[in-house]
Amino acid sequence: MTLRIYNTLSRALEEFSPLEAGHVRMYVCGMTIYDLCHIGHARMMMAFDVVQRWLKASGWRVTYVRNITDIDDKIIRRALERGITIRALTDEMTVAMHADTAALGIEPPTLEPRATDYIPQMLSMIGTLERKGLAYRARSGDVNYAVRKFPGYGKLSGKSLDELRAGERVAVSDDKQDPLDFVLWKSAKPEEPPEAQWDSPYGPGRPGWHIECSAMSCATLGETFDIHGGGADLQFPHHENEIAQSEGATGKPPARFWVHNGFVRVDNEKMSKSLGNFFTIREVLQRYDAETVRFFLVRTHYRSALNYSDAHLADARQALKRLYTALSLVAPNALAQPTAPAQIDWSNPWAARFKAAMDEDFGTPEAVAVLFELASEVNRTRSAALAGLLRALGGCLGLLQGDPEAFLRAGAGLDEAAIAAQIAARAAAKKAKNFAEADRIRAELLAQGIALKDSPTGTTWEAVR
């Protein structure tokens, strides 16, 4: 089956094959790093982590670029508020982002360009746009893009120019020829620190938000690449403006597929820092283990809205425990070496169904359903081969690679020695036919969040809360 991806540009599922045989080039708009990442940011990075994992599992080499925006109005303001340099702030937040993504098992991109390292490329592209009559110098010293001079503007959002509204991050300037025009180069302001200014043919200043990604994607992946991704909120104006800039400068479409993930919502509102209804990744990881958070993010289709709540995370934890319980039923050495995706026999019926789900626009809900059905079969058969396959397929989503017993025991209120002593006391009570005492010990442990599981080989336990 051929991989099909929903292309926002065409509003349809399209068969995917890379421009260069065997090699996929993907650019995803990354973080503006002035604060800690929240769970909405994690959702975006997780969505494209799964995308790149599946592309690799499908046999392609992937060059995955996810940028860092390290110059921006909010970054400048936060650095001034804290009394530190812009670089100190962005370095601190980059380290924090990397720690958070590593905790969630999000693999690092192949390249992670910082916007401030690509100022020359941005100025070169702005110069090209000016020569082509697509950019003009305003009285303020800014350089703006003349939207109405680019015939294809609006094709990503699917709206006419008259339907669109200016979407720039700052208020519309009086010296724009059209309200929809957006800034390519911002002239320096007296209150801004010297480190927020670069020399240019237009005077000292800094790049606009949109030109950054056009320049970085072109410099790292070429004038046209395979996939451009990001959150649904970037479709307009950011990605619309990227198309105008890149295609205006090169005459070529920047990307063949435009892919957007859905929002995380809290009480039916988009999670965002501007609304103040966000939870940082670190806050969430203080309450839930990282794999549960990952599973919560992965099991919903990347284009669907995802509702954040404690109840949903608790449900994700219980669901993940069902999968790990199946893995715990086979001998540990059968799972010692997880099968790499490249070694999976995709003709196996379970694997084939998993692949069919993922090949239909990265259909993780259907793929996860296959994992649960396979887990039920492992429960029934105790087959080490099927347990190994369950783990390997889970690995395609970054799941089920931990020790099953350790996962099932995580969160216990008692230490392992205390639990082992209680299990031994219960075994002694059963041997003495004191079943009331044995039942009391079981009930007492359960009240403390420890569930006992009896089997012919002995008694094991897992945490249930």
Binding residues for ATP: 273
Amino acid residing at 305: A
Of 357, 384, 383, residue with least CA distance to 57: 357
378 Cβ neighbours under 8 A, 6+ residues apart: 326, 327, 329, 330, 386, 387, 390
Q: List binding-site positions.
A: 29, 213, 238, 242, 273
Q: List binding-site positions for Zn(2+).
A: 29, 213, 238, 242
Please give the C-alpha separations between residue 419 and each of 29, 116, 243, 269, 405, in angstroms, as whole numbers: 48, 55, 60, 43, 14
Strand, coil or helix: what is 313? helix
> Distance (Å, rounded) from C-alpha 274 to C-alpha 281?
17
Tell how far CA 297 is from the center of its chain: 9
Strand, coil or helix: what is 155? coil
Residue 380, Cβ neighbours under 10 Å: how many? 11
Both structure tokens of 235: 């479709």
Amino acid residing at 22: G
DSSP class per residue in 224-239: SEEEEEEEGGGIIIII
**β-strand 269-270 against 264-266: which pairing, if any?**
antiparallel
Both structure tokens of 391: 């783990």
User: b vs e for 406-434, b when ≥16 Cβ sit within 10 Å of the residue's Cβ?
Assistant: ebbbbbbebeeeebeebbeebeebbeeee
Rg, Å, the chain Cα set: 26
Give 133: exposed, middle or buried? Use CB within 10 Å, 0-12, 13-18, 19+. exposed
**β-strand 458-463 against 306-307: which pairing, if any?**
unpaired
> Distance (Å, rounded) from C-alpha 23 to C-alpha 59?
9
Of 30, 51, 36, 33, residue with least CA distance to 100: 36
> Distance (Å, rounded) from C-alpha 140 to C-alpha 131?
20
Of 73, 77, 116, 127, residue with least CA distance to 94: 116
